Amino acid sequence: MTTEPQVRYFLGANSPYGFYSLYDQLIDPARAESIYILKGGAGCGKSSLMKRTAEQMEANGLSVEYIYCSGDIHSLDAILIPGKRAAVVDGTAPHVVEPRYPGLVEHYVNLERCYNAKELAPLRSEIMDCMSEYKSCYSRAYHCLSAAAEIEEDMRAVITTPPLEERISKRARSILSRELKGKGKGAAPGTVKQRFLSGITHDGVVCWFDTADTLCKRVYELADSYGLAHIMLTYLLTAAVTAGWDVVACLSPIAPDRLEHLLIPEMSLAFVTSSPAMPYGRHPARRIRLDAMADEELVRRSKPRLRFSKKVSAALLDEAVSSLHQAKVVHDELEALYNPHVDFKEVYALGEVIARQLLQL
């Protein structure tokens, strides 16, 4: 695949509420030319098909947006080809995708037909055992994430005060006066596209900071240990959309109702949240220490409580990651059971058909 930096996101999150899906945000069917929905179970080649399709799109000079799986960060769940107003997406559970305009915009691609059912029949017991253990691992991970989220919400409640919110909003207004320009009189409001830039995965907490760097020349780093960035990002998002700019609002997987990052590619401007557990690790245009805006005396008095909460939350997150890692091990075993009984020639032939049809759009 291309050695150029990828624009990559997650559209699903392992969250305190279970699997949290943003797959309805992939592309608007009413504005799309074509959406291919892949249906098929483990090991049938969905990710491989999408990778090959993406390679062909890029070989023909088209940009591709990559959507990776939060359960396996090396596996694709979707690709978006903006220049063709088209997408290919894995529409099987848990990220179920169904057509709004079947046959007109969306097209089913049945990869289940590539299985050799007769050869799989003797593996029934092993496959079912793997499926059961896989679901059990995820259930435990979600329980841990739910408990961690409760503790993190408690930390935010301790630190967040009206004076702190005013300091953050004042800083946001200062940034807006320096960075944000409107599109001009009469410009329509911008649009909001939702994505996850980070994910809680089998490999730990992963954030695709390189996406922000690829799309935006100016990156503000919001150093934040207590979940305060949402306050600033909400001000920035509202102002940007009102001024007519399209934005990518990146939600937090541990709190999907809160903003974690904000990208404004049209302005080549991004705001990314960093923390000790998720360091940015680059040289930002500006670095804003949100922690420093908190009331020093309040932080001092609450230090034992905050230290304990951070320790317990981190332990719960580690336990969730451990369960997700075990789920990945089981899923690999499941794919190993299926793979020898898949006709990959047919899978790749279907991929070739999809690629040709996309290039003809």
Segment 129-146 mean pLDDT: 97
Per-residue pLDDT for 75 more than 70? yes
pLDDT band at 218 (very low <50, low <70, confident <90, very high): very high
Question: 3-class secondary structure for 153-189?
Answer: HHHHHHHCCHHHHHHHHHHHHHHHHHHCCCCCCCCCC
Alpha helices in the chain (DSSP H): 46-59, 117-120, 124-159, 162-179, 209-215, 229-242, 296-301, 303-338, 344-359
Tell me what pLDDT residue 4 has: 65
Segment 115-128 mean pLDDT: 96
Tell me what pLDDT residue 1 has: 41
Model confidence pLDDT, tens digit, residues 279-306? 999 999 999 999 999 999 999 999 999 9
Give Cβ neighbours of residue 55 (< 8 Å, ≥ 6 apart). Answer: 1, 2
pLDDT band at 2 (very low <50, low <70, confident <90, very high): very low
Minimal CA–CA distance to 71: which of 351, 327, 348? 327
Segment 124-146 mean pLDDT: 97
Tell me what pLDDT residue 3 has: 54
Q: What is the dihedral of CA 334, 73, 151, 95, to 10 degrees?
A: -70
Tell me what pLDDT residue 310 has: 94
Q: Give the Cβ contact number of residue 185 at 10 Å.
A: 5
Model confidence pLDDT, tens digit, residues 165-201? 999 999 999 999 999 888 877 789 999 999 999 999 9
Tell me what pLDDT residue 186 has: 78
Tell me what pLDDT residue 184 has: 76
* Percent of residues, the chain, with pLDDT higher than 90: 94
pTM of this structure: 0.94
Segment 145-169 mean pLDDT: 96
- Return mean pLDDT, the chain: 95
Segment 89-97 mean pLDDT: 93
